[in-house]
């Protein structure tokens, strides 16, 4: 009977030790998981910032190219209007003069 009680006591002690070890291991795994999560979050943040910077640069280049095209088109339009005026200014002046003198 004493052997049975001793054996049950040993089993209980081992069970307590196993529970304590598992609690300790659980804390270790939790800390490890939290560290991995933190590192993942940092890496994701860096990659996100890098991607945003890249997209911002691409957008800036696209906008600059578009602006240059619009400037060129505007200059071309202004030159066309100036040429048209130079070619027709005498006619405009004659028309204006006749309109003013006929009144």
Query: Mapped to the 3 state alphabet, what secondary structure does the chain carry?
Result: CHHHHHHHHHHHHHHHHHHHHHHHHHHHHHHHHHHHHHHHHHHHHHHHHHHHHHHHHHHHHHHHHHHHHHHHHHHHHHHHHHHHHHHHHHHHHHHHHHHHHHC
Note the pLDDT of residue 4. 85
Note the pLDDT of residue 3. 84
Report the b/e string of 7-37 with b at 16+ CB within 10 A: eeeeeeeeeeeeeeeeeeeeeeeeeeeeeee
d(CA 88, CA 78): 15
Note the pLDDT of residue 51. 98
Task: Enumerate residue ranges in the chain where pLDDT < 50.
Answer: none
Q: Provide the whole-model pTM.
A: 0.57
Note the pLDDT of residue 103. 65
């Amino acid at each position: 009977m004493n052997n049975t009680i001793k054996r049950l006591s040993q089993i209980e002690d081992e069970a307590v030790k196993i529970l304590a070890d598992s609690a300790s291991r659980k804390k270790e795994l939790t800390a490890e998981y939290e560290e991995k999560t933190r590192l993942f979050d940092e890496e994701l943040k860096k990659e996100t910032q890098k991607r945003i910077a890249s997209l911002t640069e691409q957008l800036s280049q696209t906008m600059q190219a578009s602006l240059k095209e619009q400037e060129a088109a505007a200059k071309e339009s202004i030159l066309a209007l100036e040429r048209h005026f130079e070619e027709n200014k005498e006619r405009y002046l004659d028309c204006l003069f006749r309109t003013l003198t006929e009144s």
